[in-house]
Amino acid sequence: MQIILVGFMGVGKTTVGQLLANTLAQPFIDLDAEFNTVTGYTPGAYMHQFSEAQFRQVEQQILKTQLQQPQAVISSGGGVLTLPTSREIMQTSDFYVVYLASDFAVNIGRLKGDSHPRPLMTKLTAHGLHELWQTRQAHYQSVANLTINTNGLIPAAIVAQIISKLDEEPIHG
């Protein structure tokens, strides 16, 4: 099975992805962790040292490589779909794309409680973050095979919804 989770930072892609992978007995790949393995930098450190544009290019190459996996549950970075070519790569892959959506206030609340501050949380104002969130919603929706609103749901409930949908519409991979 080939599944990739997309959504804004803080929506729970990694947590849900790990649980989903365990439930389906599939390998789990976190693109941010993979970026760290490949480059030796965390995404935030890389953006600070170089630029966001350079980061997105490297991230796109890692995405392309990981989408060659015959079976995996992948957790993407929140901004991986910023580049149109990354959206095209995802849309033309065999991966079933699950968009984890939540309200902006819910996302920000989760991010404020996160033990690992995200670079954009310190770089942007609340208004800037909201604009970024709004812009990215269209990117996520453009590639999604399934959208799940995660507001008020625990990870196990989100995984149950994904599996229920997969049972209704079996996917190949």
Binding positions: 10-15, 32, 56, 78, 118, 136
Cα-to-chain-centroid distance, residue 66: 13
Annotated binding site for ATP: 10-15, 118
Hey, what are 95's tokens? Answer: 């991966």
- How many angstroms separate the CA atoms of 17 and 3, rounded? 9
How far apart CA 12 and CA 168 sit, in angstroms, is 24
Q: Which residues are annotated as a binding site for substrate?
A: 32, 56, 78, 136
Virtual CA dihedral for 146, 96, 65, 118, nearest 10 degrees?
A: 20
Express the helix, strand and coil content of the chain in percent, nearest 5 each: 60, 15, 30
Residue positions in the annotated binding site for Mg(2+)?
14
Write out the DSSP string of 130-151.
Answer: HHHHHHHHHHHHHH-SEEEE-T
